[in-house]
Amino acid sequence: EVHLVESGGGLVQPGGSLRLSCAASGFTFNNYWMSWVRQAPGKGLEWVANINKDGSEKFHVDSVKGRFTISRDNTKNSLYLQMNSLRVEDTAVYYCARTYHFDYWGQGALVTVSS
Amino acid sequence: DVVMTQSPLSLPVTLGQPASVSCRSSQSLVHSDGNTYLSWFQQRPGQSPRRLIYKVSNRDSGVPDRFSGSGSGTDFTLKISRVEAEDVGVYYCMQGTQRPLTFGGGTKVEIK
């Protein structure tokens, strides 16, 4: 059974940094693209970033380019999102999702950016 | 960016009756590889999203056959043949044809 478990969320001040992790199990991790999707409180879904199977291709939505970086470690079956220069508007639940088209999702990690 | 527009915003439905959600894209979703990357997701209250349909009309494993997807080009529809209590939630369409991947604003399905 596919399992995706996010961790690393929390409260951070504007301008701060946070690193989210996603531990994957139940499938061959290095055979799949992986993605991050976020959802601001009470709002809809927004794609944030995705990464190809070996980590050589990475794509980010414009609103996070230069601040967030997606990465993966296939030896640890893990996906990451390094978030720097955080803004209040980055407050959201961040979901890890399998594949380019999000066939499985984790339970999400809440990131709150506030002073 | 491709803008995804869903309607209606809210959909009150009687149990056992059909329901239909519309999704329109600002550009054709036909990819250069010939596929149309339009997916539908369900988000029940307090839960993570779950994919129901991919490439317009393909049901994901474990999705009841009362859910169906149709459409082409820029116009797509999600249909629930007979709404059950567990279908309450917000439904989102998403295009994966062009980056950035974009979602519709969501349609809230509730029981009358």
Looking at residue A40, what is its pLDDT? 98
Mean pLDDT, to the nearest integer, of A16-40?
98
Q: Tell me which of A3, A45, A60 to substitute to probe the interface with B (most B C-beta atoms closer than 10 Å).
A: A45
- What pLDDT does B89 receive? 98
pLDDT at A19 > cutoff 90:
yes
The confidence band for A23, taking pLDDT boundaries of 50, 70 and 90, is very high
Provide the β-strand partners of residue B58.
Answer: B54
Residue range A10-21: average pLDDT? 98
Burial of A69 (0-12, 13-18, 19+ CB in 10 A): middle
pLDDT value of residue A100: 84
Which residue do the tokens 């969320």 mark?
Answer: A9
Q: Do B54 and A107 make contact, defined as CB atoms within 8 angstroms?
A: no
- Which tens digits make up the pLDDT trace of B39-54? 999 999 999 999 999 9
DSSP string, A33-76: -EEEEEE-TTS-EEEEEEE-TTSS-EEE-GGGTTTEEEEEETTT
Contacts of A102 in chain B (CB under 8 A): 39, 41, 49, 51, 94
To 5 degrees, how large is the angle CA A20–CA A26–CA A31?
A: 80
Inter-residue contact B107 to B21 (CB < 8 Å): yes
CB contact under 8 A, A44 and B96: no
CA distance linking residue B108 with residue B89, whole number of Å: 6
Which one, of B83, B81, B79, lies nearest residue B70 by Cα?
B79
Beta bridge partners of A103: none
* Cβ contacts of B46 within 8 Å, gap of 6 or more: none
Distance CA A24, CA A11 (A): 24
Mean pLDDT (chain A, rounded): 97
Sequential pLDDT tens for chain B (112 residues):
999 999 999 999 999 999 999 999 999 999 999 999 999 999 999 999 999 999 999 999 999 999 999 999 999 999 999 999 999 999 999 999 999 999 999 999 999 9
Return the DSSP state at A88: G
Return the H-helix or E-strand segment holding B22: strand B19-25
Cα A8-A9-A14 angle, rounded to 5 deg:
120
CA distances, B93 to each of A75, A90, A99 (Å) = 34, 22, 16
At A70, the pLDDT band (50, 70, 90 cuts) reads very high
Residue type, A49: A
Between CA B66 and CA B73, with CA B70 as vertex, the angle to 5 degrees is 165
- Write out chain B residues lying below 8 Å of A45, CB-based: 41, 43, 49, 92, 94, 103, 106
B96 chain-A contacts, CB cut-off 8 A: 100-101
Structure tokens that stand for B112 in this block: 């009358």
Nearest-angstrom CA–CA distance, B87 and B15: 10
